[in-house]
Amino acid sequence: MDLSVTVTPLYLGSMIAEDRALKKRAAVEGPSAADYLKADTRASLAMGFGSVIVPITEYLLRPLIPGKGRFGRLLIGTAVSAVVVTSVADRIVKQAPDTDQGHRLRRRAGQVASVGGVTAIAAGGLALATGTAYLTNAQRQWSKGKHRDLGRGPLAWLTAMIGWDFIYYWNHRFMHQIRVMWAIHVVHHSSEHYNLSTALRQPVASAFGVWVPAGWLARLGVRPTLIETSRALNLIYQFWIHTDLVRTLGPAEEVLNTPSHHRAHHGVNKRYLDRNHGGILIIWDRLFGTFARERADDPVVYGLTKNIDTYNVVTIATHEYRDIVRDVANSTNWKDRLSFVFRGPGWAYSRHEAQRYSEVAPIEFDTANLEPM
């Protein structure tokens, strides 16, 4: 069984202890965003349970692997056909004559492009996700790297733990910088509370992402079992940093990812946005320019830049995908369609604002009737 799942009693026991400590603190200092709210906690626990069954989703997607699954060719064919049909529809929308018949043709072509654009990106993205997952999985890479077997000694463990943490940093960073990856990770940031239950609010759609593969460690001679154990230990470590009760770890703050650093990571304050992506180590953020220190004069505000105001787990898991589909469906060119998927969430918000302003009619003045001052 997954090591990160076997310690579930530890998770639950720690949450109970934290809840009691927070209630005592609230009685003296007043309520805070760290306090447990029943509806919020239930949603986090439900998402945690859902994340455990993700491997089932990956198993169901195996028939779609290009070149491997029996529906792989159909998936690729669907994506290519949708691209062609959508491109033709886009051209018709632009070139249809300015007549009643042309307007009808333009409207129908726009509807075709709307459906075709979503279909092309969904099918193409699924093919890319399943294909790369298959080609880069640890067992497949181990078949090519086992002649370098590092065994189970200190060097092997060090390579596995540091290697996983380094790869985790980049995957976590990409989840904040690429919107379709953010759609997976946004689940974890959707709570406006911050306590140990937030750590269990995990994604349920990881199978739909394209990741920097940890399987590459196997190519270096790290056994797949060590890679999996390193993943679990990294995840277990990150559980305890989702707390407001531990203020600082002193000198360890310079090397480790700590509750303070991770509180900043969950902040929507401008200072903290897209910062502190490390798992166990914070040194990657320091090296690659994504580090921000929590500051007393800028208290962390938790949640999303646009909160969804719901505890419905289906909405929590799918709302960003819903918005991406809507944006792609409403786009009229491939540049916008791809940008709404692969650029950052901030770009989508800026694009919406630009479109909103462009739809406002300019104010016209009748200068002919103006009297001189």
The pLDDT of residue 58? 84
On the question of pLDDT at 369 being above 60, the answer is no
The pLDDT of residue 361? 47
Whole-prediction pTM value? 0.92
Helix 54-61 / helix 100-136 crossing angle, nearest 10 deg: 110
Q: What is each CA distance from 139 to 136, 216, 338, in whole angstroms?
A: 8, 10, 32
**Where does the pLDDT of residue 358 fall: very low under 50, low under 70, confident under 90, or very high at 90 and above?**
low
The pLDDT of residue 217? 97
What does the block give as tokens for 283? 């040194």
The pLDDT of residue 97? 93
Percent of the residues in the chain that have a pLDDT greater than 70, as a whole number: 96
What does the block give as tokens for 36? 């447990």
- Classify residue 360 by burial, with Cβ atoms within 10 Å: 0-12, 13-18, 19+: exposed
Find the DSSP H helices in the chain.
3-6, 8-29, 38-52, 54-61, 72-95, 100-136, 138-145, 154-177, 179-189, 196-199, 216-219, 224-240, 259-265, 283-288, 313-330, 334-342, 345-358
Cβ atoms 130, 66 nearer than 8 A: yes
Average pLDDT for 79-95 = 97
Mean pLDDT of the chain: 94
Residue type, 21: A
On the question of pLDDT at 364 being above 80, the answer is no
Domain limits of the chain? 3-15+26-52+148-356, 55-136
Average pLDDT for 84-113 = 95
Average pLDDT for 291-316 = 97
User: In terms of residues, how long is the chain?
Assistant: 373
Average pLDDT for 71-78 = 97
The pLDDT of residue 359? 60
**Where does the pLDDT of residue 352 fall: very low under 50, low under 70, confident under 90, or very high at 90 and above?**
confident
Residue 90: Cβ within 10 Å count: 21
The pLDDT of residue 54? 83
Average pLDDT for 330-358 = 89
Average pLDDT for 165-187 = 98
| Least confident stretch, 59-63, 232-236, 287-291 | 59-63
The pLDDT of residue 19? 98
Residue 204: Cβ within 10 Å count: 22
Percent of the residues in the chain that have a pLDDT greater than 90, as a whole number: 90
Name residue 275's beta-bridge partners: none
Identify the CA nearest to 281 among candidates 358, 196, 168, 132: 168
On the question of pLDDT at 371 being above 60, the answer is no
Average pLDDT for 75-93 = 97
**Where does the pLDDT of residue 77 fall: very low under 50, low under 70, confident under 90, or very high at 90 and above?**
very high
Average pLDDT for 247-252 = 97
On the question of pLDDT at 76 being above 70, the answer is yes
**Where does the pLDDT of residue 368 fall: very low under 50, low under 70, confident under 90, or very high at 90 and above?**
very low
Distance CA 11, CA 51 (A): 15
3-state secondary structure 3-25: HHHHCHHHHHHHHHHHHHHHHHH
Average pLDDT for 220-224 = 97
Name residue 327's beta-bridge partners: none
Residue for token pair 């080609």:
135
The pLDDT of residue 100? 92
CA 130 to chain centre: 17
Average pLDDT for 304-324 = 96
On the question of pLDDT at 62 being above 90, the answer is yes
163 or 356, which is more confident? 163
Average pLDDT for 140-168 = 97
Cβ atoms 236, 3 nearer than 8 A: yes
